[in-house]
Amino acid sequence: MQFRHELKHEITTSDMIAIRQRMRAVAKPDPHVIDGKYLIRSLYFDTPEDKALLEKQSGISRRQKFRIRYYNGDKSLIHLEKKSKVGGLGNKVSANLTEEEADRIVKGDISWMRDSENELIKELYSKMISERLQPKTIVDYTREPFIFGPGNVRVTLDYNIRTGLRNTDFLNTECITVPAAYGVCILEVKWDNYLPEIIRDAVGLPHSRTGAFSKYEACRLPVVENQEF
């Protein structure tokens, strides 16, 4: 399992525009973009006690989360992903799901996962049984991704973050979502062994600081803060 370096910054819209222009000059857009961007829809999983959310808020350095996602409303290719974090390093493993399989998971019909040939699907099944992991909320956003060969660098600009609140109707492209983290843009930089100076300069902002912004956390907070205890 190879971990990659990750840096994340919460930036302004004007910062994003400036970085976009710099990245266009030195890097290539991801080959899967449409007009320089794509739309991401994710469904995040958590325990009834919100383990993943609380670990993020507490700053636990070693943590993981599961999600299902697809791009540009295209349900012909759906990914199950497990994202692991250890300090400033990250790793992601994924497996493909059919639309029917994703729908069954969302609806809690999971017995078939136990006999899957894919280890990640079986791992999610195990955690849905042992930790009562369950779908929590939809997270939508727009991403502009750039790639740079040396260092295997990937730079992404994420914005227009929207939440499904308690809605888990993940496959319904018409389901209602509402803005979360209004006006926030997220710059994320990932690389293997080294970050080339040309990319470091392109994404550099004198007033920004490395942060730990979580789109999942931002999309859950409107719900958590309004819960009655």
Query: Bridge partners of 210?
Result: 9
User: Quick check: 5 pLDDT over 50?
Assistant: yes
> CA dihedral in degrees (86, 89, 95, 101; nearest 10)?
60
pLDDT of residue 208: 63
Helix (H, G, I), strand (E, B) or coil at 46: strand
pTM confidence score: 0.91
Rounded to whole angstroms, the Cα distance separating 153 from 191 reads: 4
> CA dihedral in degrees (93, 181, 184, 160; nearest 10)?
70
User: Quick check: 222 pLDDT over 70?
Assistant: no
pLDDT of residue 127: 97
pLDDT of residue 22: 97
Q: Which fold has domain 4-224?
A: mRNA Triphosphatase Cet1; Chain A (3.20.100)
Q: Are 188 and 155 in contact (CB under 8 A)?
A: yes
Longest dimension (CA), the chain: 52
The per-residue pLDDT for range 27-50, each reduced to its tens digit, is: 999 998 999 999 999 999 999 999
Distance from chain centroid for Cα 109:
24
The per-residue pLDDT for range 49-89, each reduced to its tens digit, is: 999 999 988 888 899 999 999 999 999 999 999 999 998 89
Rounded to whole angstroms, the Cα distance separating 131 from 128 reads: 6
The per-residue pLDDT for range 185-216, each reduced to its tens digit, is: 999 999 999 999 999 999 988 776 566 688 99
Q: Which two tokens stand for residue 228?
A: 């009655």
User: Quick check: 225 pLDDT over 50?
Assistant: no
Q: What backbone phi and psi angles, to 5 degrees, belong to 176?
A: -80, 130
pLDDT of residue 224: 45
- The domain segmentation of the chain, as residue ranges, is 4-224
pLDDT band at 150 (very low <50, low <70, confident <90, very high): very high
Q: Which residue did the predictor score with more confidence, 117 or 221?
A: 117
User: Quick check: 227 pLDDT over 50?
Assistant: no
**Block residue for tokens 């006999």:** 115
**The dihedral sign for the CA sequence 168, 173, 175, 176:** positive
Lowest mean pLDDT among 144-153, 155-164, 176-185: 176-185
What's the residue count for the chain?
229
The per-residue pLDDT for range 82-141, each reduced to its tens digit, is: 999 998 899 999 999 999 999 999 999 999 999 999 999 999 999 999 999 999 999 999
Mean pLDDT for 166-182 is 90
Q: What backbone phi and psi angles, to 5 degrees, belong to 203?
A: -100, 0
